[in-house]
């Protein structure tokens, strides 16, 4: 009799367990799929010993902010591409590559850097302003070149770090119209901001890569006016204080402040002449080691805390 009671008790407990399971799991046939999707969506991307994550979507379709971390070193053989036109070329000639080669010798690293004119004068045209980066990298994104210019999908396959910049006509900033247009090549703050925001979203698609963006080179006083120069400075400040975000894969180098000393125009002592807004060789020789060190810091995980007062560094160079 006691044995029968025990068996009946076991059956009752089993039945109760089944009922509880059904009530808690629900009737949705998508529960397994939803759970699987949640697991897949929360997977992290691991590269070069750094955990780099992006926003993910939970089972309730809400976006979950997941921290991006770029404070870990990249590979000791990281590859860098330095995109430029004439201003960037002058700085390159000041010793960018030499500085990195010397660093490799002294620290046992094997970083490599290559320079490239982007975009080329033909067939695309000698234009490297916010519209042009947006046009090539966002509007014509993909695995194929656009007018013989590599897209980010192409560049990120070969290079770990991508350095990009504008030439000094980017500071000829006209007044806003109140009708910003991302597809417009007009040099205005309102258009620049739309194009930069789209470029940021695009660069975030490549969490295993890191990007370094220069603030726009300044013009000499004779080549602009106070209103244009102030708008150019305002845009550079927006890039540094609003557009740039901590803990992502994009880093800013404040070239404009270095050229201008915080003012509106390229300082005469840093320019080729009073009518030529290219930096002179003396300035390039002092700036080249700075951008090279910025690149090294980004590679080695110090990108968000290595941006220093460049003018202090430049003044130190006067002392043996």
DSSP letter assigned to residue 188: B
Distance between CA 145 and CA 119 in Å, rounded? 11
Q: Which helix (H) or strand (E) holds 114?
A: strand 112-117
Among 82, 110, 54, which Cα is nearest to 247's?
54
DSSP letter assigned to residue 304: T
Write down the pLDDT at residue 69: 61
Write down the pLDDT at residue 307: 59
Write down the pLDDT at residue 153: 98
Among 185, 188, 186, 184, which Cα is nearest to 173's?
188
Distance between CA 220 and CA 233 in Å, rounded? 13
Distance between CA 232 and CA 229 in Å, rounded? 5
**Under-70 pLDDT residues of the chain:** 1-69, 306-320
Write down the pLDDT at residue 71: 84
Task: Give the number of residues written for the chain.
Answer: 320
Write down the pLDDT at residue 70: 76
CATH 3.40.50 intervals, the chain: 79-316
Q: The domain 79-316: what is its CATH number?
A: 3.40.50
Distance between CA 146 and CA 131 in Å, rounded? 14
Write down the pLDDT at residue 123: 98
Write down the pLDDT at residue 60: 39
Looking only at the bridges linking them, the beta strands covering 112-117 and 79-84 are parallel
Write the pLDDT tens digit of every residue in 244-302.
999 999 999 999 999 999 999 999 999 999 999 999 999 999 999 999 999 999 999 99
Q: Are 264 and 229 in contact (CB under 8 A)?
A: yes
């Amino acid at each position: 009799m006691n044995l029968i009671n025990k068996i009946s008790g076991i059956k009752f407990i089993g039945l109760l367990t089944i009922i509880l399971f059904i009530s808690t799991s629900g009737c949705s046939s998508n529960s397994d799929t939803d759970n699987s999707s949640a697991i897949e969506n929360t997977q992290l991307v691991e590269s070069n010993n750094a955990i780099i994550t992006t926003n993910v979507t939970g089972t309730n379709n809400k976006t979950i902010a997941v921290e991006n971390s770029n404070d870990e070193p990249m590979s000791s053989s990281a590859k860098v591409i330095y995109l430029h036109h004439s201003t960037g070329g002058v700085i390159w000639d000041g010793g960018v590559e030499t500085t990195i080669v010397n660093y490799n010798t002294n620290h046992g690293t094997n970083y490599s850097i290559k320079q490239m004119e982007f975009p080329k004068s033909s067939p695309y045209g000698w234009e490297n302003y916010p519209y042009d980066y947006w046009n090539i990298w966002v509007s014509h994104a993909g695995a194929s070149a656009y007018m013989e210019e590599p897209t980010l999908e192409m560049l990120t396959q070969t290079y770990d770090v991508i350095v990009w910049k504008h030439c000094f006509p980017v500071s000829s900033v006209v007044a806003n119209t109140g009708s910003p247009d991302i597809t417009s090549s007009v040099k205005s703050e309102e258009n620049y901001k739309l194009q930069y925001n789209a470029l940021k979203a695009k660069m975030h698609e490549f969490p295993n890569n890191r990007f370094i963006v220069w603030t726009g080179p300044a013009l000499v006083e004779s080549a602009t006016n106070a209103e244009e120069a102030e708008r150019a400075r305002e845009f550079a400040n927006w890039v540094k204080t609003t557009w740039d975000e901590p803990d992502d894969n994009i880093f800013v180098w404040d070239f404009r402040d270095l050229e201008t000393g915080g003012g509106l125009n390229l300082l005469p002592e840093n320019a080729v002449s009073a009518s030529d807004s290219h930096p002179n060789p003396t300035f390039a020789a002092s700036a080249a080691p700075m951008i090279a060190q910025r690149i090294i810091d980004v590679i080695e995980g110090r990108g968000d805390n290595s941006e220093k007062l460049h003018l202090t560094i430049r003044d130190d160079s006067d002392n043996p």
